[in-house]
Chains A and B, each alone.
Chain A
Amino acid sequence: MREIDRRSKYDRRVFLKGAAVTAPAVAIATSTGLGITDAWAEGASTLTPATLKTLLKMARDIYPHDFLGDSYYIAAVKPYDEKAAKDPAVKSLINDGVTRLDQAANDRHKMPYVQVAWENDRVALLQQIEQSAFFQKIRGDLIVSIYNNKEVWPRFGYEGSSAEHGGYIKRGFADIDWLPKV
Chain B
Amino acid sequence: MAKFDLNDSGVVVIVGSGAGGGTLGNELAQKGVKVVILEAGPRIENQDFINDEWDSFTQLAWSDARSTSGSWRVHQDFPGLPAWIVKAVGGSTTHWAGASLRFDEHEFKIKSAYGNMPGANLLDWPITLAEMEPWYAKAEDKMGVTRTNGIPGLPGNNNFKVMEAGARKLGYKEVHTGRMAINSEPRDGRGSCQQIGFCFQGCKSGAKWSTLYTEIPKGEATGNLEVRPGSMVIKVEHDQSGKVTGVVYADATGAMQRQKARVVAVAGNSIESPRLLLNSASSMFPDGLANSSGQVGRNYMRHMTGSVYASFEKSVHMYRGTTMAGIIRDEAKNDPKRGFVGGYEMETLSLGLPFMAAFLNPGAWGRSFTSAIEGYPRMAGMWLVGEDMPQETNRITLDPKIKDKFGMPVASVHFDDHPNDVAMRDHAYKQGSAVYEAVGATVTYPTPPYPSTHNMGTNRMSEKPRDGVVNKFGQTHDIKNLFVSDGSQFTSGAACNPTLTIVSLAIRQADHIAGAMQRKEI
Q: Looking across the interface, which residue of chain A has its beta carbon closest to that of B175?
A: A182
**Could you tell me the distance between the alpha carbons of A174 and B352 in the complex, rounded to whole angstroms?**
17
**Could you tell me the distance between the alpha carbons of A25 and B195 in the complex, rounded to whole angstroms?**
34
Would you call A168 an interface residue if the criterion is a C-beta within 8 Å of the partner chain's C-beta atoms? yes
Question: Which one of B165, B320, B367, B376 contacts A172 once the chains associate, using CB atoms below 8 Å?
Answer: B320
Would you call B248 an interface residue if the criterion is a C-beta within 8 Å of the partner chain's C-beta atoms? no
Q: Looking across the interface, which residue of chain B has its beta carbon closest to that of A166?
A: B194
Give the contact stretch, choosing among A93-101, A105-113, A142-150.
A142-150
Q: Looking across the interface, which residue of chain B has its beta carbon closest to that of A181?
A: B165
**Could you tell me the distance between the alpha carbons of A148 and B356 in the complex, rounded to whole angstroms?**
10
Q: Is the CB of B366 within 8 A of A173?
A: no
**Could you tell me the distance between the alpha carbons of A99 and B252 in the complex, rounded to whole angstroms?**
48
Would you call A171 an interface residue if the criterion is a C-beta within 8 Å of the partner chain's C-beta atoms? yes
Q: How far does the Cβ of B144 sit from chain A's closest Cβ, in whole Å?
A: 18
Q: How far does the Cβ of A59 sit from chain B's closest Cβ, in whole Å?
A: 10
Task: Provide the residues of chain A in CB contact with B353, threshold 8 Å.
Answer: 147, 152-153, 156, 158
Would you call B197 an interface residue if the criterion is a C-beta within 8 Å of the partner chain's C-beta atoms? yes
Give the contact stretch, choosing among A27-35, A39-47, A61-69, A77-85.
A61-69
Q: Is the CB of B197 within 8 A of A167?
A: yes
Residues A169 and B195 in contact in the complex (CB < 8 Å), given A162-B51, A182-B169: yes
Q: How far does the Cβ of B92 sit from chain A's closest Cβ, in whole Å?
A: 20
Would you call A123 an interface residue if the criterion is a C-beta within 8 Å of the partner chain's C-beta atoms? yes
Q: Looking across the interface, which residue of chain A has its beta carbon closest to that of B156?
A: A174
Would you call B284 an interface residue if the criterion is a C-beta within 8 Å of the partner chain's C-beta atoms? no
Would you call B357 an interface residue if the criterion is a C-beta within 8 Å of the partner chain's C-beta atoms? yes
Q: How far does the Cβ of A17 sit from chain B's closest Cβ, in whole Å?
A: 28
Q: Is the CB of A159 within 8 A of B354?
A: no
Would you call B316 an interface residue if the criterion is a C-beta within 8 Å of the partner chain's C-beta atoms? yes
Q: Looking across the interface, which residue of chain B has its beta carbon closest to that of A164?
A: B51
Would you call A117 an interface residue if the criterion is a C-beta within 8 Å of the partner chain's C-beta atoms? no
**Could you tell me the distance between the alpha carbons of A42 and B54 in the complex, rounded to whole angstroms?**
31
Would you call B373 an interface residue if the criterion is a C-beta within 8 Å of the partner chain's C-beta atoms? yes
**Could you tell me the distance between the alpha carbons of A174 and B256 in the complex, rounded to whole angstroms?**
52
Q: How far does the Cβ of A170 sit from chain B's closest Cβ, in whole Å?
A: 9
**Could you tell me the distance between the alpha carbons of A147 and B376 in the complex, rounded to whole angstroms?**
12
Would you call B370 an interface residue if the criterion is a C-beta within 8 Å of the partner chain's C-beta atoms? yes
Q: 1/0 contact trace for A49-83 toward B, CB 8 Å?
A: 00000000000011111010000000000000000
Interface residue SS majority, chain A? loop
**Could you tell me the distance between the alpha carbons of A46 and B51 in the complex, rounded to whole angstroms?**
36
Q: How far does the Cβ of A27 sit from chain B's closest Cβ, in whole Å?
A: 20
Would you call B369 an interface residue if the criterion is a C-beta within 8 Å of the partner chain's C-beta atoms? yes
Question: Which one of B155, B376, B439 contacts A179 once the chains associate, using CB atoms below 8 Å?
Answer: B439
**Could you tell me the distance between the alpha carbons of A172 and B157 in the complex, rounded to whole angstroms?**
9
Q: Is the CB of A158 within 8 A of B319?
A: yes
Q: Is the CB of B358 within 8 A of A158?
A: no
Q: 1/0 contact trace for B364-376 toward A, CB 8 Å?
A: 0111011001101
Task: Provide the residues of chain A in CB contact with B50, threshold 8 Å.
Answer: 161
Task: Provide the residues of chain B in CB contact with A62, threshold 8 Å.
Answer: 365-366
Would you call B60 an interface residue if the criterion is a C-beta within 8 Å of the partner chain's C-beta atoms? no
Q: How far does the Cβ of A96 sit from chain B's closest Cβ, in whole Å?
A: 21
Q: 1/0 contact trace for B333-356 toward A, CB 8 Å?
A: 000000000000000000011101
Would you call B430 an interface residue if the criterion is a C-beta within 8 Å of the partner chain's C-beta atoms? no
Q: Is the CB of B157 within 8 A of A173?
A: yes
Task: Provide the residues of chain A in CB contact with B197, threshold 8 Å.
Answer: 162, 167-168
**Could you tell me the distance between the alpha carbons of A93 and B330 in the complex, rounded to whole angstroms?**
52
Residues A123 and B366 in contact in the complex (CB < 8 Å), given A168-B195, A171-B320, A180-B439: yes
Task: Provide the residues of chain A in CB contact with B121, threshold 8 Å.
Answer: none
**Could you tell me the distance between the alpha carbons of A139 and B77 in the complex, rounded to whole angstroms?**
13
Task: Provide the residues of chain A in CB contact with B320, threshold 8 Å.
Answer: 159, 162, 168, 171-173
**Could you tell me the distance between the alpha carbons of A62 and B353 in the complex, rounded to whole angstroms?**
17
Q: How far does the Cβ of A3 sit from chain B's closest Cβ, in whole Å?
A: 6
Q: Is the CB of A168 within 8 A of B196?
A: yes
Q: 1/0 contact trace for B126-159 toward A, CB 8 Å?
A: 0000000000000000000000000000011110
**Could you tell me the distance between the alpha carbons of A145 and B413 in the complex, rounded to whole angstroms?**
29
Would you call B222 an interface residue if the criterion is a C-beta within 8 Å of the partner chain's C-beta atoms? no
Q: How far does the Cβ of B341 sit from chain A's closest Cβ, in whole Å?
A: 31
Would you call B168 an interface residue if the criterion is a C-beta within 8 Å of the partner chain's C-beta atoms? yes
Of B52, B164, B353, B370, chain A has the most CB atoms within 10 Å of the CB of B353
**Could you tell me the distance between the alpha carbons of A176 and B380 in the complex, rounded to whole angstroms?**
12
Q: Is the CB of B439 within 8 A of A157?
A: no
Would you call B472 an interface residue if the criterion is a C-beta within 8 Å of the partner chain's C-beta atoms? no
Would you call B321 an interface residue if the criterion is a C-beta within 8 Å of the partner chain's C-beta atoms? yes
Q: How far does the Cβ of A63 sit from chain B's closest Cβ, in whole Å?
A: 6
Residues A64 and B377 in contact in the complex (CB < 8 Å), given A158-B352, A174-B155, A176-B161: no
Task: Provide the residues of chain A in CB contact with B365, threshold 8 Å.
Answer: 62-63, 139
Task: Provide the residues of chain B in CB contact with A168, threshold 8 Å.
Answer: 157, 194-197, 320-321
Task: Provide the residues of chain A in CB contact with B321, threshold 8 Å.
Answer: 167-169, 173-174
Question: Which one of B54, B157, B367 contacts A64 once the chains associate, using CB atoms below 8 Å?
Answer: B367
Q: How far does the Cβ of B406 sit from chain A's closest Cβ, in whole Å?
A: 28
Would you call A160 an interface residue if the criterion is a C-beta within 8 Å of the partner chain's C-beta atoms? yes
**What are 14 A-B pairs with beta-carbon distances under 8 A?**
A1-B317, A62-B366, A64-B367, A143-B358, A159-B319, A161-B50, A162-B196, A162-B320, A163-B204, A175-B158, A176-B315, A178-B314, A180-B165, A180-B169
Apart from A173-B155, A176-B316, 5 more pairs, CB < 8 Å: A123-B366, A157-B317, A169-B321, A174-B155, A179-B161
Interface residues of A (CB under 8 A from B): 1, 3-4, 61-65, 67, 123, 139, 143-144, 146-148, 152-153, 156-164, 166-169, 171-176, 178-180, 182
Interface residues of B (CB under 8 A from A): 50-54, 155-158, 161-162, 164-165, 168-169, 193-198, 204-205, 314-317, 319-321, 352-354, 356-358, 363, 365-367, 369-370, 373-374, 376-378, 439
